[in-house]
Chain A
């Protein structure tokens, strides 16, 4: 059955569709290969390539993608690639764009991994990682500060931040349960504040 469906699809594939799929793959490969840090760092590049250069999406759609990416699980890069790929060339397009954005990272990391593995026991490499470990904490700390600044200031937000922090640090409760509980708490809170007639949202 699967092969029949596949054949059907390939018969449907016109030259222009194949071209689109290849172009999606190439464009997202480029995006994946040239953005450091991932996440929001990718948005300007996606915007430039997919909206300005290729005209696959409009600027409004780009904003929508960011909004969707923020409220769905997973990396923004993957969300955007899937969304744009799907819009341009269906599921195959989505797969091509997603694969494109992932492949550079995957290859680079694999190479680095095996490279470092061979040199991990050398003294300079050990010293380097001694320094890097301390420096990396600074990077993550900076990310936390940035995220806090971006949040709307409210008592509820502050309570959830502190509760999640304390539960993760001082209890053995699974992180997934904390995340699920926070989602429920957020939903209940928004129901209550809506009932109170709080239209600020």
Chain B
């Protein structure tokens, strides 16, 4: 049953996401694509929505994906699934805080988990670039299209703005405005 599967999938994502935020991105990507739930571009749209609305990124993503796969019940179960592992683990840990803090197993594992998370998010960035810049597959000819050129320029400008610590919501608003303007001026195919 789809609802159980959504719950189980997001429970697993919650259990394996260390560091919060974008750390869950590679896991969501894999789960969604392997189940054939959504298009790759839909995930990128959801990232934008999650970034421009308040609240934890993980909850926003879970609600978004869950709702689009199976309506309101899907959104509720995905959200519950993604928060439940943290909830249970923290309740347990707060009773054994000393032991947890001094555990060599945990601190050792974290030394591998943190860098691995970075590598995985970086890989997700490359996958997203493929989806956005080469929607019809990797090909030299794709570089010559106006869609590629506009995407590349928006990406370049936004990277500069983002590195200058411009508010993420503003970054998304400017990107949207640029998309609309370029869309009408250059008649891009969407």
Contacts and interface: CB of A to CB of B under 8 A. Distances in A.
B63 A128 contact: no
Contacts of A168: 26, 119-120, 123-124
B132 A74 contact: no
Interface string A124-150: 101111111111111111111101100
A174 B35 CA distance: 13
B57 A75 contact: yes
A4 interface: no
Contacts of A42: 56
B120 A134 contact: no
A23 interface: no
B157 to A, nearest CB: 8
Given A73-B15, A128-B180, A156-B111, A133 B86 contact: no
Contacts of A70: 18-19, 110
A14 interface: no
Contact of B161 (A114, A138, A179): A138
Given A33-B55, A71-B106, A187-B105, A76 B94 contact: no
A191 B175 contact: no
A165 B79 CA distance: 28
Contacts of B131: 133
Contacts of A144: 22, 118, 121-122, 125
Interface residues of B, number: 108
A59 to B, nearest CB: 17
Given A94-B87, A135-B175, A179-B16, A191 B108 contact: yes
Contact of A35 (B54, B108, B158, B182): B54
Interface in A86-119: 86-87, 91, 94-95, 98, 101-102, 104-106, 108-110, 112-114, 116
Contacts of A145: 163
A137 B132 contact: yes
Contact of B124 (A67, A98, A139, A140): A140
B172 A136 contact: yes
Contacts of A67: 101
B188 A127 contact: yes
B182 A87 contact: no
A47 B68 CA distance: 34
B97 interface: yes
B83 A74 contact: yes
Contacts of B152: 134
A143 B190 CA distance: 28
Given A82-B86, A113-B49, A163-B119, 19 more contacts: A36-B54, A64-B97, A68-B90, A70-B19, A71-B106, A78-B56, A106-B76, A109-B49, A109-B63, A109-B67, A130-B179, A135-B154, A136-B172, A137-B128, A144-B118, A156-B111, A168-B124, A174-B30, A175-B120
Interface of B: 12, 14-22, 25-27, 30, 41, 44-45, 47-60, 63-64, 67-68, 72, 75-76, 79, 82-83, 85-87, 89-91, 93-94, 97, 100-101, 104-129, 131-132, 147, 150-152, 154-155, 158-159, 161-163, 167-169, 171-172, 174-180, 182-184, 188, 190
15 contacts: A38-B57, A39-B56, A74-B85, A94-B90, A113-B49, A131-B175, A132-B45, A134-B152, A139-B172, A145-B163, A151-B115, A161-B115, A163-B119, A175-B120, A187-B111
Q: 3 shortest A-B CB distances, which residue pairs?
A: A131-B179, A186-B112, A105-B55
